[in-house]
Amino acid sequence: MATRDRTIENLIERLHRLPGVGPKTAERLAFHLMRVEADEALQLARAIEQVRAAVKTCSRCCNLDAQDPCSVCSDPARDRTMLLVIEDPREVVRFEDTGYRGLYHVLQGRLSQIEGIRPEDLTTDLLLRRVAADRPAEVCLATNPDLEGEGTARVLLERLAPLGVKVTRLARGLPAGSTIAQVSRSILADAMEGRRPLSS
Amino acid sequence: MATRDRTIENLIERLHRLPGVGPKTAERLAFHLMRVEADEALQLARAIEQVRAAVKTCSRCCNLDAQDPCSVCSDPARDRTMLLVIEDPREVVRFEDTGYRGLYHVLQGRLSQIEGIRPEDLTTDLLLRRVAADRPAEVCLATNPDLEGEGTARVLLERLAPLGVKVTRLARGLPAGSTIAQVSRSILADAMEGRRPLSS
């Protein structure tokens, strides 16, 4: 049986290894990369190579950046009394966009019994050492508002408690722009529980 | 405002240019490529480079392959009396899998008024010259069974008619494994129209 050229099969297989890319999508992307201008395709290859050559994990906060310490950790204008603990380095720009100007600590994941991810698989130890050494005024546990994010926050709270630091968690409630008629029961329950006094 | 490193932004942008890859998917893929083993990421870059170095368009059938003429066109065992006209080079392996052993002609698209794709934007001229020169016993127009595929087949039929060659179209009917209760009205109408005599 006639098969595809080895280099084509190899590209499809490599694309298929990307998260969320099934065999049909991998095939579609591969043929796209074969049909566009050569430079267009090669720029992607170069972008991958450049990122792997340049980007490293920050030894302080575990963010990904071209410099170590990362641009946040090495910025003297940042508020060093505030530490935001996040699961994923992608979340850094989300918080930057809100105007946050404190420091970060990237856990590089979340605890999960199903996936067998334990505290020692995350950057927990580094976080505890950092908090003990730098003693920020507040550590905000900004893990996701779901079962595993909550579980991770609870375990971190236990370990941070002996250090006597103020630990907070992001507010849960109605998402801006939602309608009460359409949000889920658990969102509304969170909003009720976290309701705040109004002052005139 | 602190922004992401330029190489990271560049990779996200390059991934975002792929078809069907939105900004969030591009970000997810980029961070995946930064976190996996370096070799894993670099193998993808190399696969792109290799494919662009090796793969060319066959000057006879417009298929994509590492050799020109492609492995199908240069295979002496293929049935040269049969020519299957397809829209996309990806479809070659689909037909190979059915056991087809004739030749192909890849249109590299389909006619579309909406997208402004005219016969001269496809490999129509090459097809007509090929059919006039090689005079295959049958030209099967295997464009897709939708509005634009049908339209493309009709235009090709008009142009092939003066050459006096037998032109066919793939059968339309019930997809194998379907249930009559669940197929659409147009599938069932096709199956009725194309019904065939049973001989005992």
Per-residue model confidence (pLDDT) at position A1: 42
| B102 and B140 fall within a common domain | yes
Residue among A169, A162, A161, A88 nearest A122 (CA)? A88
| Contact yes or no for B29/A19 (Cβ under 8 A) | yes
* Residue pairs between chains A and B whose CB atoms are closer than 8 Å: 165
Chain B positions touching A46 (Cβ under 8 A) are 45
Mean pLDDT (chain B, rounded): 92
| B68 and B91 fall within a common domain | yes
H-state helical runs in B63-170: 91-97, 124-134, 147-160
| A80 and A28 fall within a common domain | no
Per-residue model confidence (pLDDT) at position B193: 85
Mean pLDDT (chain A, rounded): 92
Instruction: Give B62: exposed, middle or buried? Use CB within 10 Å, 0-12, 13-18, 19+.
Output: buried
pLDDT band at B192 (very low <50, low <70, confident <90, very high): confident
Per-residue model confidence (pLDDT) at position B179: 85
**How far is residue B34's CA from residue B67's CA, in Å, rounded to a whole number?**
34
| B82 and B179 fall within a common domain | yes
Per-residue model confidence (pLDDT) at position A190: 87
| B50 and B103 fall within a common domain | no
Chain B positions touching A24 (Cβ under 8 A) are none
- What is the DSSP code (8-state) at residue A18? S
Question: Is B1 contained in some domain?
Answer: no
| B118 and B72 fall within a common domain | yes
Chain B positions touching A75 (Cβ under 8 A) are 2
Asked if the interface predicted TM-score (ipTM) of this complex is over 0.85, the answer is no
| B45 and B73 fall within a common domain | no
| B13 and B97 fall within a common domain | no
- How many domains does the structure of chain A reveal? 2
For residue range A156-200, list pLDDT tens digits in order.
Answer: 999 999 999 999 998 888 888 888 888 888 888 888 888 887 777
CATH of the domain at B166: 3.40.1360.10
How is residue B21 written in tokens? 């890859």
Last residue of a domain, one of A54, A79, A94: A54
| Contact yes or no for B139/B83 (Cβ under 8 A) | yes
Query: How close B137 gets to chain A, by Cα (Å)?
Result: 22
| B68 and B50 fall within a common domain | no
For residue range B69-80, list pLDDT tens digits in order.
Answer: 999 999 999 999
Residues of chain A with pLDDT under 50: 1
Are the beta carbons of B55 and A8 separated by less than 8 Å?
Answer: yes
Chosen from B78, B79, B90 to mutate, greatest number of chain A CBs within 10 A: B90
Q: pLDDT exceeding 90 applies to what percent of chain B?
A: 76
Whole-number CA gyration radius for chain B: 22
| A80 and A32 fall within a common domain | no
Are the beta carbons of A44 and B14 separated by less than 8 Å?
Answer: yes
Question: Is A141 contained in some domain?
Answer: yes
Per-residue model confidence (pLDDT) at position A178: 87
Torsion of CA A159, A110, A105, A102, to 10 degrees: -100
Domain that holds residue A40: 6-54
Question: Is A1 contained in some domain?
Answer: no
Chosen from B11, B43, B84 to mutate, greatest number of chain A CBs within 10 A: B11
Nearest CA in chain A to B1: A96
CATH of the domain at B48: 1.10.8.420
Q: How many CA atoms lie within 13 A of A146 on its CB side?
A: 6
For residue range B150-180, list pLDDT tens digits in order.
Answer: 999 999 999 999 999 999 998 888 888 888 8
